[in-house]
Amino acid sequence: MRYLPFFILLIFLNSLSLKAQEESEISIKDNISLSGYIRYMNSSSVINSDSIISDNLIHNRLRLKLDFTPKLTGVFEMRNRVFFGEATNLNPNLGKILDNDIGNIDLSIVSYDRRTLVVHSIFDRAYFKYSSEKWELRAGRQRINWGVNLAWNPNDLFNAYSLIDFDYQERAGVDALRLQYFIGDLSSFEIAIQPGENLDKSIMAGLWKFNLSGNDFQLLFGNYYKDLALGLGWTGNIKNAGFTLESTYFTPRKNMIYSPAVLSSSISFDYSTKKGIYINTSILYNSLGSDKSSSSENLFGSFLSNISAKNLMPSRLTYFTQISGNFTPALNGSLAAFYMQGEQMLLIMPSVSYEIKENLDAMVLAQSIYNEINKKTSPMGLGTFFRISYSF
């Protein structure tokens, strides 16, 4: 089973060869498409003034789309990463950490695992889609994005993520069945099921989207592991500014006395100036979060790991602000900041990206973390990243 991704890839490549022999070049282009990117990223982490650790990452993504008929499509996407450098050498368990496929089928493999070099591959998309005028059915590993906010998505039951993980825009997929019915241009209803061994390890929910007086609304209800989930999403405008409210209430199906209900809610405003400057500000409330500083030695890791719709950030109140815009048509700059009120932690992320030429771009990004201890603000760490990316 662990080598299943490579057997699937061989089958696809073989089918490509057969298609090439049997059909014309125009027909192949119409029915089969292959795209993706390859990136190189160097990262440096400053632990203190005397300690700097660097690492390297080669990140490749392959996207294969097969149009079997006008209504039936297969989509398969593979993520390949090669880690090497000082940070890789200092983490002998990196291969085991990466080789963690939480799906029903293990589509992850670490083909090379040494302290100097780790190679990891995973299919994070592998699904079939059948669509008609009013219906769409997807079965397999896919991304189910129900969120409407930029920074935090309490409605995103299936694929919660963190904006801090900037090098994985596609986000992870889940093994699920998704059925959508399009009522009209601005209205739809869908049901999604992520099956587990039992109800406590499964997600089953329905989502209704509709438009009212120029505002987009969505309501969701379902089973979220051991909880019942009831959610609301609202997107509209206040004069020239965009407004988004997204909230989900989780209540235990049993043992309500020992397992408290949880409210995860975010509200955001965004605005674009005539000169193309984009501003977004957002607040997240997590009733499960802490309202005081913790003693965790890896609080920053909680930004990226253990993320769920029920627990998007470790602090009860978290604030986010981002401003971005183009200096020139090819040069873009962005400044983002996260502040966790309870944990008294501030994360600042400035970045600059430059389009060298079509399909080739470079980016420089930094993550600077500050924490307040004994009413004194001190830096906790600094990470810098240089990335060059080619898309095909």
pLDDT band, very low/low/confident/very high, at 178 (cuts 50, 70, 90): very high
Give the three-state DSSP class for 206. Answer: strand
The answer to whether residue 22 sits within a structural domain is: yes
Torsion angles phi and psi, residue 193, rounded to 5? -130, 120
Q: What is the pLDDT of residue 239?
A: 87
Q: What is the pLDDT of residue 77?
A: 97
Whether 391 has a pLDDT exceeding 60, the answer reads yes
Whether 10 has a pLDDT exceeding 90, the answer reads no
The answer to whether residue 378 sits within a structural domain is: no
Q: How do residues 54-64 score in pLDDT, each as one tens digit?
A: 999 999 999 99
The answer to whether residue 112 sits within a structural domain is: yes
C-beta atoms surrounding 338 within 10 Å: 25
Q: How do residues 186-202 score in pLDDT, each as one tens digit?
A: 999 999 999 999 999 99
Task: Answer for the pair 89, 115: CB distance below 8 angstroms, yes or no.
Answer: yes
Q: What is the pLDDT of residue 35?
A: 96
Can you say whether residue 177 is alpha, beta or left, with left for phi > 0 and alpha for psi between -120 and 50 degrees? beta
Q: What is the pLDDT of residue 26?
A: 46
Give the three-state DSSP class for 96. Answer: helix
Split into its structural domains, the chain has a count of: 1
The answer to whether residue 133 sits within a structural domain is: no
Task: Answer for the pair 357, 5: CB distance below 8 angstroms, yes or no.
Answer: no
Task: Answer for the pair 156, 143: CB distance below 8 angstroms, yes or no.
Answer: no
C-beta atoms surrounding 310 within 10 Å: 20
The answer to whether residue 11 sits within a structural domain is: yes
- Mean pLDDT within 346-362: 96
Note down the domain range covering 89.
Answer: 1-40+59-123
- The pTM of the full predicted model, rounded to 2 decimals, is 0.84
The answer to whether residue 350 sits within a structural domain is: no
The answer to whether residue 226 sits within a structural domain is: no
Q: What is the pLDDT of residue 299?
A: 54
Q: How do residues 107-133 score in pLDDT, each as one tens digit?
A: 999 999 999 999 999 999 999 999 999
pLDDT band, very low/low/confident/very high, at 371 (cuts 50, 70, 90): confident
Q: How far apart are CA 217 and CA 187, in angstroms?
A: 9
C-beta atoms surrounding 314 within 10 Å: 21
Q: What is the pLDDT of residue 46?
A: 84
Name the residue among 37, 59, 45, 76 with its Cα closest to residue 119: 59
Rounded to the nearest integer, the mean pLDDT of the chain is 88
- Mean pLDDT within 36-52: 87
Q: How far apart are CA 318 and CA 224, in angstroms?
A: 23
Can you say whether residue 257 is alpha, beta or left, with left for phi > 0 and alpha for psi between -120 and 50 degrees? alpha
Q: How far is CA 94 from CA 53, 83, 90, 91, 113, in A?
A: 16, 9, 9, 6, 8
The answer to whether residue 12 sits within a structural domain is: yes
pLDDT band, very low/low/confident/very high, at 184 (cuts 50, 70, 90): confident
Q: How do residues 235-269 score in pLDDT, each as one tens digit?
A: 999 888 999 999 999 999 987 777 889 999 999 99
